[in-house]
Structure 1
Amino acid sequence: MASPGSDFQSGLPKARRFITTHDDNGKAVYSETLPETVPFWPVGPRDEPAAFGLVYATTSTPIPLMRDEDLSTFQHIDEQRTRGGLVHRGGSAIRYVDYPPKASSPMHRTVSCDYAVVLFGQVSCRLDSGETRTLNAGDVLVQRGTMHQWVNLSDTWSRMLYVLLDSTPVESGGVVLEEDLGGMQGVPGSH
């Protein structure tokens, strides 16, 4: 088993990120601040962990691009990636999640609006009402603060890409619905 913070291998292709910035002459260039290969780490039960890979995160809107402030902020977030929550208050996060064959996440809710894209495999999203949808590679689900569970329907690893945008809490039936991680192992609460 890989240790927290190490580069966990699911067998899917390595994920790469490319970040742009400007040189001293105002020309667009690729930043060398962060490695291009996104590191993954194990999350969940020891015998069947999923793998998380944090691509980028911000802590405010609008995003402070002046003097690469956002890059500096993300460097700190990235150093703490195994200890950070799913949602960055006031900001955003883009994250890969690799799911083992036939594995599922706990039923959970984040206080965010998420764009969830299946990259590899076939995944089901189950809601606490019992409704489900099956997503194939290229399909997108917009998750709006609801209780949900991801299930890898594939006999191989599946990969999803999530963009999480901080949101106001949802109110339903006069009750404010807060983050509920459903007992996810190795995932701290958002802050």
Structure 2
Amino acid sequence: MLRQIRRIVTTNDAEGKSGVMIDGIADNIITVLTELWITGKGKVNHTDGIDHGALSTQLEPPEGGTLFRYFEILPESEFAHLSDDEKRKANAEWFAAMNGAHLQPDTSKHPAMHKSPTTDYIILLSGEITLVLEKEERTLKPFDCVIQRGTNHAWVNRGKENALLMAVLVSDGSHGR
């Protein structure tokens, strides 16, 4: 079960005074992704009263926009009972559930490999995670960060506890939503 994330969203009232618009558990969850906030292309309206975290429906941010999310990756040992074919099928279904099936051009290195035209800022909060790239791998410890620049990659948890991560995805403006 995903860890619940408390989200506090601020706003300005009609007189321009700051206050809290939302203080509660973020509840827009797409598979392992807890969607915290999303912005679109153009000027942002900070007084619209809309929960923009509830608007996210897919792995990518909207064209010209951003996406702020929390995600959890279970240890690979949780899936040891599956055959390689079952793992590939499960990963394909997982990406489809995130409206991201089109982001898997080459899964030959790992079934969770994916690539989007975004710049992603990722921080590992706890646990251990390995960033798998086509030519190499890097293992992260808590508070390590990655600037993911439109490369084919997978997140693989070879540890014993869930890996907890935060990410901001920034659209390069070339993809549709």
TM-score (norm. length: structure 2)? 0.71
8 Å CA contact 2:38–2:61 kept in 1: the answer is no
Q: Could you tell me how far 1:42 is from its partner in structure 2?
A: 5.7
Q: 2:171 corresponds to which residue?
A: 166
Cα distance in 1 for residues equivalent to 2:133 and 2:154: 6
* Percentage identity across paired residues of the two chains: 24
Q: 2:76 corresponds to which residue?
A: 102
User: Do residues 25 (structure 1) and 15 (structure 2) align?
Assistant: yes
Q: Could you tell me how far 1:15 is from its partner in structure 2?
A: 0.9
8 Å CA contact 1:121–1:136 kept in 2: the answer is yes
User: Do residues 91 (structure 1) and 65 (structure 2) align?
Assistant: yes
Deviations 1:129-175 (A, max 9, x none): 2x111111111100000011101122111111110000156xxxxxx
Q: 1:39 corresponds to which residue?
A: 27
User: Do residues 149 (structure 1) and 154 (structure 2) align?
Assistant: yes
Q: 1:3 corresponds to which residue?
A: none
User: Do residues 134 (structure 1) and 134 (structure 2) align?
Assistant: no
User: Do residues 72 (structure 1) and 53 (structure 2) align?
Assistant: no
Name segments (4+ residues, structure 1) moved above 4 Å.
none
Q: Which amino acid aligns with 2:143?
A: G
Q: Could you tell me how far 1:86 is from its partner in structure 2?
A: 2.1
CA RMSD, Structure 1 to Structure 2 (Å)? 2.4
For structure 1, the residue ranges without an aligned partner over 5 or more in a row are: 1-8, 44-50, 170-178, 180-189
Aligned residues: 145
Q: Could you tell me how far 1:60 is from its partner in structure 2?
A: 1.6
1:123 to 121, 129, 149: 129
Q: Which amino acid aligns with 1:91?
A: G
Deviations 1:22-58 (A, max 9, x none): 12332210113xx621126463xxxxxxx21000001
Cα distance in 2 for residues equivalent to 1:105 and 1:15: 28
Larger helix fraction of residues:
2
For structure 2, the residue ranges without an aligned partner over 5 or more in a row are: 78-109
Cα distance in 2 for residues equivalent to 1:59 and 1:73: 13
TM-score (norm. length: structure 1)? 0.67
**Residues 63 and 23 of structure 1: is their aligned pair in 2 closer, same or farther, counting only changes over 3 Å?**
closer
**Residues 117 and 146 of structure 1: is their aligned pair in 2 closer, same or farther, counting only changes over 3 Å?**
same
Q: Could you tell me how far 1:97 is from its partner in structure 2?
A: 1.1
Cα distance in 2 for residues equivalent to 1:24 and 1:99: 41
User: Which sits farther off after the overlay, 102-111 or 158-167?
Assistant: 102-111
Q: Which amino acid aligns with 2:26?
A: V
